[in-house]
Structure 1
Amino acid sequence: MEAGRRRRGPGEGKRMGRNRLAEERSPYLLLHAEDPVDWRPWGDAALEEARQAGKPIFLSIGYSTCHWCHVMHRESFLDADVARWLNEHFIPIKVDREEHPDVDEFYMTAVQAMTGEGGWPLTVFLTPEGLPFYGGTYFPKTRRFGRIGLLELLPRIVELWRTRPEDVRQVAENARRGLRSLFAFEARPLEEDLVDEAYRALRREYDPVHGGFGTAPKFPLAHRLLFLLRYGAEKKEPEATVMAAESLRKMAAGAIRDHLGGGWMRYATDRAWRVPHFEKMLYDQALLLYALAEAAAATGEATFRHLAEETVAYVFERLGAPEGAFCTAEDADVDGVEGAYYLFTPEEVRAVLGEEDGALFSAAYDIGSPGPIEGKSAPNLMRFEPKALQDRFGLSEAALFQHLETARKRLRAYREARHRLFVDRKILSGPNGLMIAALARAGELLGRPTWVARAEAAYRFVREWLTGDDGTLYVRYIDGERKNIATLDDVAALAWGALELFFAAQAPAYLEEARRWVAYADARFRAPEGGYRHTAAAGPGGVSVRKAADGAIPSGNALLAFVRAHLVRLLGRPEDAEALEALFTAFGGRAFARPAEHAFLLAARLVVEGSGAEVVIVGEREHPATAALVRATREGYRPHTFVLVRPPAGPEAEAWDRALPDTAAMRPVGGRPAAYVCRRMVCRAPVTDPDALRAALAEAT
């Protein structure tokens, strides 16, 4: 499937750069290959050059679909005066954060600790040894928005380095010590009541008017919604389910959802979801798909199923890679204007649809004059009132929705003819792991086997093309090249993907894969002080990033805990239980201080502490009686109940015996498929009747 068609984008075609980025493959780095700034790619050569020259490093971190990265590029990095300062007095290094999540995580944490702010582009001044001493995000060329300009800042840094280098190094050393203390936190048991406290904290942050959490900017935070859905089911707390479901409804009505082409923008700059930041990231599509599928199961609402299907259709069409995996992101900018692809005026809508249909669409989708974004509007349903529209335009309910469906198709065709957005075609192991998990889980819950098959294809690609002969996982793939050793986040995401494929495909090989990735993390990332480091090697100054708090996605430690919690339940191995408890304890102090920020870690706690059962159905999968037993387990929303369907005999049964020895003795009863309802693999007498299975499940959970 094509990931996007448009004029030749950065990184496509002939490489004619004037600086050292010309031989890179990252679309973001190639976008800067013709800058007058003499950029170096991150690596030992650039760092050694800085040490030899005794020059400070100007580190700029961004990514190809980042609007403010593009702004800083146009304003400053194409400017001869800025380039002269950087080339003469610094070693300028440019990093694609998606290729180097290790570098990005370290320096983002440093800048947040120094300034209290973070984001991209990330701009950091380093000593020749790589220690940060000053930083920020976007800097204009000249003073603007209350921010110092680069042409004012660079001379100050140069003078400071020339006249007071030891003071600068002391600032860097203080920053290093601060970072080390930041990750030297209290270990304490992760008490079960922290799960309840996280719910209470989320309830306090919840926006009862517009859904979501906080005010502005507002991120989807789908992993928080997943926690609420599972907490609501586990604790019989309907308000938690309502908070999650209403947040998804409000987001779906808002402009953060693309109402013409599907998919979800990264965040909204306002409280009501009407003014989005328009880039679309693979990881957001994955986490929202997972949450939508669980919301569909939890509430039975067809709306959530429709939104899941719409999201998958977008991902397959625009982010699907011909190789079988998924591309990274779709850009927000057209010719330097953020969101231009998505924005309309009432006049433009009428020109495409005609007066009557144009007026109808504008009224339904909140296309006002003037709109809230540079006088234009992104379609949304925040003010959609079907009955009022029926009365105003003299339409039946069916006719209203038919008119709007036709209008959406025509406007989508129009906007694709006027622009085509750039898609970053990097294939990243971590975001692909998240999408594999989401497609597998959504396919299982919503009965879409083609989604599971697509997840399997993506997983095969990652195993073949992003994994070395020695088993090492890499961050990214482009045009036959894999590069950069993966971080904990990447490995944990692949472990989650493999785990969800095990449940969705009912193939024990995927359980073995999940165990393999967990063992990989144990071998490479486990920290002596508890938990797991973000990278196998320490960062500059011997500092290792170690955290379990959620960001835009769940942390690697939280993902690993979630996977390991399932292994504890499935396998009953003491070593898994001990490792999981040690992981919980390592971050118990942080979770106690900020429970809402550790929602996914606490979701893992729900897996092991909750009331879920293990149901093993022994029978040929195609047998009608087997299918009837499976259907009985799918009634209602039991997120912590695991359903396993294993054959009674044959080579596939032998694979199940090896992967899950506790199921080896389970057999059909009287020649009929049988279901064994277990708690921690301690099982009741088998049943063959779906009603008896329903009763056993009700009693067990």
Structure 2
Amino acid sequence: MNRLAAATSPYLQQHKDNPVDWWEWSPEAFAEARSRNVPVLLSVGYAACHWCHVMAHESFEDEATAAFMNEHYVNIKVDREERPDVDAVYMQATTAMTGHGGWPMTVVLDHEGAPFFAGTYFPPQPRHGQPAFTQVLQALSEAWHDRPEEVRRVAGQLREHLAASGDLPTGSLSAELLDAAVEKLAEEFDPMAGGFGNAPKFPPTMVLEFLRRYGSNQARHMVARTAAAMAGGGMYDQLGGGFARYAVDRGWVVPHFEKMLYDNAQLIGFYARLGTETGDRVARESADFLLRELRTAEGGFASALDADSPDPVTGKSEEGAFYAWTPAQLTEALGESRGAWAADLFAVTAEGTFEHGTSTLQLRHFPADSHERARLSEVRARLLDVRALRPRPGRDDKVVAAWNGLAISGLCDAGLLLGEQQYVDAALAAADLLVRLHLPGDGSILRVSRDGVVGPHAGVLEDYGCVASGFLSLVQATGDARWLTLATGLLDHALAGFRAPDGGFYDTHDDAETLVARPRDPGDNASPSGFSSVIHALVTAHALTGEGRYRDAAEEALATVAQLAERAPRFAGWSLAAAHTMLDGPLEVAVVGPSGSDRDALAARARRLPGAVVVVADGPRDDVPLLTGRTAVDGQAAAYACRGFVCERPVTSPDQLG
């Protein structure tokens, strides 16, 4: 075993038996490189990454390749999910040098951490115009020793580029800019298959939520088409619920099969908020998947399920082996008649829609007939039982604070909107775990825990934003002011330590480890950026507390993302959603009065209003300022709605809300 045997990260643990003499990211690793006068090779990936596994098997498990790496480099392995700050800096360098990014990421650094080469996957032999990994290693080692001035020049240029990228132009997220963003999104919308752009297609959850709140006919069409296409395609697990990370094709047929907590946490809430029959079904199935397959013994949620698993016949690890089917397998599981019916319904063909004659399961048309729905339910249950006998994909069981914050918010939305208390209970358990392990009590947050033991890595901005948002969701789900105190404590710590001079935010705290550049990226990716997640938390905190400083901070920060929202709205969806809520209000609703069906009906109506912040209580309370002075009306439950610093008369009928 190498040094990674002592790591807490499941991804690093996957490499503990490599012949590569791996180091974790540390000052000691760079000191070793200085003492030997060799460059640093940085390899970044994550546990559920298919191509990370491929490169590990081809190169890092190869004795000859490992020997060259050990002789000519100090080799550092980083889990991007554990150290997103390190990942962000060097992904920016990789994108600058190559025009694209992704994982595995391979970067070569000088002794000060400045990169002078970057790439992603490299094959063991020259292939498709790519050099072999060993050729790259040899060329870079020769450059280090024979052309040090060239290395210093490239490293210096990249250092300057990374430093300059922290400067963001300011502007105004006006109603006109939001209108223009919708028009640009409409230009990039795929009218045939839903979603935006061409393959590969990732679930554009944050953009869809912005469009849902925007609410024009054009926006509603883009939301409905994309939501239906994702739910009916192979990217959605038609048996067990939950979404794979992305589809490799335009039509959402073939996914990259890894299932990530951050995707599903967001999609659960989004589908629940749709208020449609499909939305409710998908939200419920996906929430059940989360509780069944990603929940940890400590009450938190694991990060991911792997894309690969052993093929039941060959035993060889294959992507999608757990999820794909052939017509013969359906017949074997269901019998000839039901097997043929299932093959037709799920688009399982003799030729196959995936690999090796297998097909992903699609469900483009949910049966309308009650008899057919009952038949489908029986078929799904049987296939799920049969699938459970297959070798399962591996699970990355580390608990990441930010993604558990997203799960808390998504489960609260699903629990409240679908009337499923078990989802709110699961959100509470995850929040209790975060408080117990990840919040040391000084206002800060620690990013990762595993098996009930918290790791040493400091939280980054997304941890503060997503966890604060999750806690604020619990205020609305439970009425417990404890969560408001915890959320505002996190936001105060973020405002004190992450603010940039222009009013925006850095991704790391003032006292965080100094890297070659301080990462700062307001753009959303598969999950909300730290920037946009903090904005949402600030907007909600202002609605609940009336504290103007939270709204002021949100407005100042949003000004720094205006240019991104104008040029590339697909990467600013969550900021656009926050801006729409602020420009539109935000809508704050206090529902008070005796518990019962009348109060429940008012609360249910209020929660369906886009972007609304809703709290429910028996009567007035001062520990949640939005409830201060709110009383029942003539003994009846009443809803008090305020928008844009103006409050309307309390109403007692759901029809009078919104």
TM-score by length of 2: 0.94
Matching of residues 603-682 of structure 1 within 5 Å: 603-611=577-585, 613-620=587-594, 622-623=595-596, 625-631=598-604, 633=606, 637-648=608-619, 656-660=621-625, 663-680=627-644, 682=646
In 2 relative to 1, CA 91–307 (structure 1 residues): closer, same or farther, beyond 3 Å? same
Which residue does 2:201 correspond to in 1?
Answer: 218
| SS state at 2:389 partner | helix
Which residue does 2:150 correspond to in 1?
Answer: 167
Contact 2:122 / 2:132 at 8 angstroms: preserved in 1? Answer: yes
Which residue does 1:394 correspond to in 2?
Answer: none
Alignment match of 1:199 (pick from 156, 161, 182) = 182
- RMSD over aligned Cα atoms: 2.1
Q: Could you tell me how far apart the structure 2 residues matched to 1:96 and 1:339 are? A: 23
Alignment match of 2:249 (pick from 266, 270, 282) = 270
In 2 relative to 1, CA 67–588 (structure 1 residues): closer, same or farther, beyond 3 Å? same
C-alpha deviation, 1:540, in angstroms: 6.1
**Correspondence 1:694 to 2:658:** no
Contact 1:274 / 1:378 at 8 angstroms: preserved in 2? Answer: no
Q: Could you tell me how far apart the structure 1 residues matched to 2:551 and 2:476 are? A: 21
What letter corresponds to residue 447 of structure 2 in structure 1? V
Alignment match of 1:284 (pick from 260, 263, 266) = 263
> Higher mean Cα deviation, 369-378 or 458-467?
369-378
Alignment match of 1:552 (pick from 496, 515, 526) = 526
Contact 1:106 / 1:539 at 8 angstroms: preserved in 2? Answer: no
The CA deviation string for residues 431-471 of structure 1, in whole angstroms up to 9 with x for no partner, is 10100011112222222222112111111110111122434
In 2 relative to 1, CA 629–407 (structure 1 residues): closer, same or farther, beyond 3 Å? closer
Aligned residue pairs total 650
What letter corresponds to residue 349 of structure 1 in structure 2? L
Q: Could you tell me how far apart the structure 1 residues matched to 2:422 and 2:636 are? A: 29
Q: Could you tell me how far apart the structure 2 residues matched to 1:146 and 1:369 are? A: 34
The CA deviation string for residues 604-638 of structure 1, in whole angstroms up to 9 with x for no partner, is 11111115543323324x2555345435545xx41
Which residue does 1:9 correspond to in 2?
Answer: none
Matching of residues 471-550 of structure 1 within 5 Å: 471-483=443-455, 484-537=457-510, 542-550=516-524
Which residue does 1:3 correspond to in 2?
Answer: none
> Higher mean Cα deviation, 204-213 or 591-600?
591-600
Which residue does 2:230 correspond to in 1?
Answer: 251
| SS state at 2:622 partner | helix
> Higher mean Cα deviation, 548-557 or 373-382?
373-382
Which residue does 1:416 correspond to in 2?
Answer: 388
Q: Could you tell me how far apart the structure 1 residues matched to 2:319 and 2:603 are? A: 48
| SS state at 1:645 partner | strand
Which residue does 1:10 correspond to in 2?
Answer: none
The CA deviation string for residues 451-493 of structure 1, in whole angstroms up to 9 with x for no partner, is 1121111111101111224343111111332120011011111
Q: Could you tell me how far apart the structure 2 residues matched to 1:535 and 1:457 are? A: 27
Q: Could you tell me how far apart the structure 2 residues matched to 1:379 and 1:578 are? A: 48
**Correspondence 1:306 to 2:267:** no
In 2 relative to 1, CA 479–617 (structure 1 residues): closer, same or farther, beyond 3 Å? closer
Contact 2:94 / 2:101 at 8 angstroms: preserved in 1? Answer: yes
> Higher mean Cα deviation, 187-196 or 598-607?
187-196
Which residue does 2:313 correspond to in 1?
Answer: none
- Unpaired runs of at least 5, structure 2: 311-316
| SS state at 2:5 partner | coil
Which residue does 1:319 correspond to in 2?
Answer: 294
Q: Could you tell me how far apart the structure 1 residues matched to 2:493 and 2:500 are? A: 13
In 2 relative to 1, CA 677–359 (structure 1 residues): closer, same or farther, beyond 3 Å? closer
In 2 relative to 1, CA 361–419 (structure 1 residues): closer, same or farther, beyond 3 Å? same
- Unpaired runs of at least 5, structure 1: 1-17, 388-396
Q: Could you tell me how far apart the structure 2 residues matched to 1:550 and 1:153 are? A: 32
Which residue does 2:50 correspond to in 1?
Answer: 67
> Higher mean Cα deviation, 574-583 or 546-555?
574-583
Q: Could you tell me how far apart the structure 1 residues matched to 2:546 and 2:531 are? A: 21
Matching of residues 558-573 of structure 1 within 5 Å: 558-573=532-547
Which residue does 1:339 correspond to in 2?
Answer: 320
Contact 1:211 / 1:247 at 8 angstroms: preserved in 2? Answer: yes
C-alpha deviation, 1:666, in angstroms: 3.2
Contact 1:611 / 1:640 at 8 angstroms: preserved in 2? Answer: no
Q: Could you tell me how far apart the structure 1 residues matched to 2:627 and 2:324 are? A: 56
Which residue does 2:137 correspond to in 1?
Answer: 154
Contact 1:547 / 1:587 at 8 angstroms: preserved in 2? Answer: no
Q: Could you tell me how far apart the structure 2 residues matched to 1:617 and 1:477 are? A: 37
In 2 relative to 1, CA 35–502 (structure 1 residues): closer, same or farther, beyond 3 Å? same
In 2 relative to 1, CA 290–383 (structure 1 residues): closer, same or farther, beyond 3 Å? closer
Which residue does 2:303 correspond to in 1?
Answer: 328
Contact 2:43 / 2:76 at 8 angstroms: preserved in 1? Answer: yes
Alignment match of 1:57 (pick from 17, 40, 46) = 40
| SS state at 1:324 partner | coil
Q: Could you tell me how far apart the structure 2 residues matched to 1:330 and 1:490 are? A: 21
Identity %: 38
In 2 relative to 1, CA 402–670 (structure 1 residues): closer, same or farther, beyond 3 Å? closer
Q: Could you tell me how far apart the structure 1 residues matched to 2:232 and 2:107 are? A: 38
The CA deviation string for residues 592-615 of structure 1, in whole angstroms up to 9 with x for no partner, is 332332121111111111155433
In 2 relative to 1, CA 631–134 (structure 1 residues): closer, same or farther, beyond 3 Å? closer
Alignment match of 2:5 (pick from 16, 22, 25) = 22
Q: Could you tell me how far apart the structure 1 residues matched to 2:580 and 2:98 are? A: 35
Which residue does 1:114 correspond to in 2?
Answer: 97
Contact 2:444 / 2:490 at 8 angstroms: preserved in 1? Answer: no
What letter corresponds to residue 379 of structure 1 in structure 2? T
Q: Could you tell me how far apart the structure 2 residues matched to 1:529 and 1:229 are? A: 30
Q: Could you tell me how far apart the structure 2 residues matched to 1:116 and 1:582 are? A: 31
Which residue does 2:647 correspond to in 1?
Answer: 683
C-alpha deviation, 1:581, in angstroms: 1.8
What letter corresponds to residue 208 of structure 1 in structure 2? P
C-alpha deviation, 1:400, in angstroms: 3.9
The CA deviation string for residues 481-509 of structure 1, in whole angstroms up to 9 with x for no partner, is 21200110111110111121111222222
Q: Could you tell me how far apart the structure 2 residues matched to 1:41 and 1:694 are? A: 59
Contact 2:21 / 2:70 at 8 angstroms: preserved in 1? Answer: yes
Q: Could you tell me how far apart the structure 2 residues matched to 1:599 and 1:629 are? A: 29
Contact 1:194 / 1:595 at 8 angstroms: preserved in 2? Answer: no
Q: Could you tell me how far apart the structure 1 residues matched to 2:531 and 2:41 are? A: 31
In 2 relative to 1, CA 617–351 (structure 1 residues): closer, same or farther, beyond 3 Å? closer
**Correspondence 1:86 to 2:69:** yes
What letter corresponds to residue 568 of structure 2 in structure 1? R
